[in-house]
């Protein structure tokens, strides 16, 4: 049997009823049997401050950096705020990308996002892809998952109901698995 790959999933939203966090939960359910997705919560990260880093990573950051170090790839799920990714996700990336031994640099990444509007987080995902270039993170190019009009895609309990969205999320995760396995060789 093929060994399970370990993926860390991060939602860029703090809202209790976040479509993006719900989309991340759906990804966990839709993941191939050869993939394990562990979520981390950057809620307790302080704003990035290099003085804090030089004094020693804050406890919340250090714990998540250790979890991320064991990951073989990442899944970032982002809302779109002001035509970009959320400050929460950007702050997490800033903390995770710093030395020594950044746990994200060079590891494969998949991105997706959900929004009540029509854009499906296209601009935010574009900015995440730009950050990934600097971090030397190979990104899954296809399929792209832009969940538009998210209120129609989830039920009252924020369970993903739309079958075409489930299918494309599954395809994204399969592509991430192939990318991780290619880079693991």
71-120 tens-digit pLDDT = 999 999 999 999 999 999 999 999 999 999 999 999 999 999 999 999 88
Does pLDDT of 172 surpass 90?
yes
**pLDDT at residue 184, as a whole number:** 83
Helices (H), the chain: 19-30, 50-55, 59-69, 87-96, 122-134, 163-184
Predicted local confidence at residue 3, as pLDDT? 86
Give the model's pLDDT for residue 70: 97
How many separate domains does the chain show?
1
Pairwise CA distance, residues 177 & 173, whole Å: 6
Q: Please, what is the average pLDDT of the chain?
A: 96
Q: Which domain holds residue 18?
A: 5-184
| CATH number of 163's domain | 3.40.50.360
Give the per-residue pLDDT at 13: 97
Q: Are the C-beta atoms of residues 122 and 151 closer than 8 Å to each other?
A: no
| Model confidence at 11: pLDDT above 90 | yes
Whole-prediction pTM value? 0.96
Over 70: is that where the pLDDT of 1 sits? Answer: no
Q: In the beta sheet, which residues pair with residue 10?
A: 40, 76
Render pLDDT for 140-164 as a digit per residue (tens, 0 to 9).
999 999 999 999 999 999 999 999 9
């Amino acid at each position: 049997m093929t060994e399970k790959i370990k993926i860390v999933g991060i939602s860029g939203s703090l809202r209790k009823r976040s479509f993006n966090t719900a989309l991340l939960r759906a990804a966990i359910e839709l993941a191939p049997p050869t993939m394990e997705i562990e979520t981390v919560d950057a809620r307790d990260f302080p704003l990035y401050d290099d003085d804090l880093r030089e004094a020693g990573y804050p406890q919340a950051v250090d714990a998540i950096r250790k979890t991320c170090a064991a990951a073989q790839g990442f899944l970032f799920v982002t809302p779109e705020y002001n035509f970009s990714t959320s400050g929460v996700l950007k702050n997490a990336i800033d903390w995770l990308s710093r030395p020594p031994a950044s746990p994200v640099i060079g590891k494969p990444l998949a991105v997706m996002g959900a929004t009540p509007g029509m854009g499906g987080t296209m601009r935010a995902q574009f900015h995440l892809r730009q950050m990934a270039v600097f971090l030397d993170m190979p990104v899954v190019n296809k399929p792209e998952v832009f969940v538009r009009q998210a209120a129609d895609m989830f039920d009252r309990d924020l369970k993903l109901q739309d079958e075409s969205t489930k299918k494309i999320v599954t395809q994204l995760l399969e592509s991430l698995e192939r990318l991780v396995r290619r880079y693991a060789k």
